[in-house]
Amino acid sequence: MAEGSENVNMKEGVTGALMRDLERGNFTRETLTQALRCRDAEQAEMFALARRRRSEHFPGEEVEVRSVIEVSNICQQGCKYCNMGLKSKQEKYTIGYEGLLRLANFIYQKGRRVLLLQSGENNAADFVSHLAQCVHELKRQQPDLAVILCCGNLSKAQYRQLHEAGASRYVLKFETSNAALYGNLKPRDTLRRRLDCMETLLELGYAVGSGNMVGLPGQTHEDMVADLHLLGKYNLAMQSTTVFIPGESSAFRNEPMGDVDAALNMMALMRIMYPGRLIPTTSSLEKGRADGQYWGLMAGANTVTVHDGTPDEVKHLFPIYSTKRFTPQDGHFRQIVERAHLKFAPGVLK
């Protein structure tokens, strides 16, 4: 046996054992830690398994397309990784009733049927009522438009108000399952409160999405494995991971960006462990690496978010993770979805 071939065989043996564990649903801490670290041939094999799981659960091979409207940058939180938030000196805006309806109708006429309304966390009664009025009117005009909200922690009564207005889905990421790390990242919040909000959303009948961030300062592989296990405790419809990006004016501005490969591995594991959920390929992947969003699709994602809803004049006022944001448009997604041999859900991208 030539020198080195034994090592190759040993490596193949390790790879084979990892894939067998993942295929059989043996999601122990050791298996998941190894999987988060895998690269090259081993990573390619894991992505292939994630795509097989996606095909089994989404046999149409379709990608859901969402448009996002960033409704307001007013925020009561102060997350250390974010350029917005309570202490930000930035000019504040909230898109008004008429403006929001006009934007949503423009998107609808383009063929979009899923709209994501995102804002800073703001539980002021007038803001939540404004959102509810907009959603109510949108749903009256376009009953087949699905409205997803991503507006942070609110009270049960406010979540109910928005649900009754017609919002059917809500994205509330827990970012990390490590309570101490969470408290450090989000000093004005606690993990317990976040999870309570998530439970309330599920109780009220929302289709809920959650997930984590990869590469947070102080985060370990063990934390990420715990994130994967936490996702399994909830009956979620959507799950996601984003790469940590140090916001230029945030408290973490001097920290290194998260690792794109670790985030892609996290996505593949989410698909393998909880295969029936929607997973977005987020713009943070593209920010971290050219073609990152294509690789997100190759790792099992099946949702894209087009940044065509927020008016150009306020886009720069929503620098959530970076002032130099990548805000992908139709052409970019058409190209990567085709290369990944997927297709758009009918009539959603024109």
**Residues in contact with ligand SF4 by the rule CB under 6 A:** 75, 77-79, 82, 84-85, 120-121, 152, 320
Q: Which is nearer to ligand SF4, 42 or 255 (CB)?
A: 255
In sign, the C-alpha dihedral spanning 99, 161, 277, 229 is positive
Q: How does strand 62-72 pair with strand 303-306?
A: parallel
Q: Which is nearer to ligand SF4, 52 or 188 (CB)?
A: 188
Q: Which is nearer to ligand SF4, 121 or 255 (CB)?
A: 121
Q: How far is the CB of 192 from ligand SF4 (least distance, A)?
A: 17
Bridge partners (DSSP) of residue 33 are none
Burial 283-310, CB ≥16 within 10 A → b, else e? bbbbbbbeebbbbbbbbbbbbbbbbbbb
Q: How far is the CB of 331 from ligand SF4 (least distance, A)?
A: 28
Q: Which is nearer to ligand SF4, 172 or 273 (CB)?
A: 172
H helix and E strand count, the chain: 14, 8
Closest CA to 254 of 262, 245, 263: 245
Q: Which is nearer to ligand SF4, 247 or 288 (CB)?
A: 247
Q: Which is nearer to ligand SF4, 152 or 211 (CB)?
A: 152
Q: How far is the CB of 282 from ligand SF4 (least distance, A)?
A: 14
Task: Enter the tokens of residue 193.
Answer: 């409160």
Q: Which is nearer to ligand SF4, 78 or 300 (CB)?
A: 78
Q: How far is the CB of 89 from ligand SF4 (least distance, A)?
A: 14
Q: How far is the CB of 92 from ligand SF4 (least distance, A)?
A: 12
Query: How many Å apart are CA 81 and CA 253, to the nearest integer?
Result: 8
Quickly tell me which residue has 């998530």 as its tokens: 198
- What is the three-class DSSP state of 213? strand
Query: How many Å apart are CA 284 and CA 286, to the nearest integer?
Result: 5
Q: How far is the CB of 78 from ligand SF4 (least distance, A)?
A: 6
Cα distances from 177 to residues 181, 200, 201, in angstroms, run 8, 18, 18
Q: Which is nearer to ligand SF4, 85 or 288 (CB)?
A: 85
Burial 248-263, CB ≥16 within 10 A → b, else e? eebbbeebeebbbbbb
Residue 35's Cβ-count burial label (10 Å; 0-12, 13-18, 19+) is buried
Task: Enter the tokens of residue 118.
Answer: 């995102």
Task: Enter the tokens of residue 139.
Answer: 């749903």
Q: How far is the CB of 252 from ligand SF4 (least distance, A)?
A: 12
Q: How far is the CB of 88 from ligand SF4 (least distance, A)?
A: 8
Q: How far is the CB of 277 from ligand SF4 (least distance, A)?
A: 22
Q: Which is nearer to ligand SF4, 147 or 171 (CB)?
A: 171
